[in-house]
Amino acid sequence: MNNRRIALCLIAVSAIIGIVAVSSDSLPQILIMPFLAISGIGFGTGIVLLNYKAKHSKRDRSKFKRTNTKSWDT
């Protein structure tokens, strides 16, 4: 799987875990914070992976030109 699919899966799963942790009344109060922490870490990692894929894809590298290619005349 590529970075984009992993990122989207992480965001979806962490959102589901966060919603379940917040809306569930049957969970003890001690267990809610670890679930929210896991959800936040997964959400942040998913966003980082989405941005990494957008900035470092091989298809977009050809569009960037080097800035110091001019030769100085003497």
Overall number of domains in the chain:
1
- Residue 62 placed within a domain: no
Give the closest residue to 10 by CA, choosing from 39, 51, 53, 52: 39
Q: Report the pLDDT value the prediction gives residue 12, as an integer from 0 to 100.
A: 94
Higher pLDDT pick, 37 / 73: 37
Q: Which domain holds residue 34?
A: 3-56
- Residue 29 placed within a domain: yes
Q: Report the pLDDT value the prediction gives residue 44, as an integer from 0 to 100.
A: 92
Q: Report the pLDDT value the prediction gives residue 6, as an integer from 0 to 100.
A: 87
pTM of structure: 0.64
* Mean pLDDT of the chain, nearest integer: 79
Q: Report the pLDDT value the prediction gives residue 56, as an integer from 0 to 100.
A: 54
DSSP H or E run through 1 = none
pLDDT tops 90 at residue 14: yes
- Residue 13 placed within a domain: yes
- Residue 44 placed within a domain: yes
- Residue 38 placed within a domain: yes
- Residue 73 placed within a domain: no
Strand blocks (E) in the chain: none
Q: At what angle do helices 3-23 and 29-55 cross, to 10 degrees?
A: 160
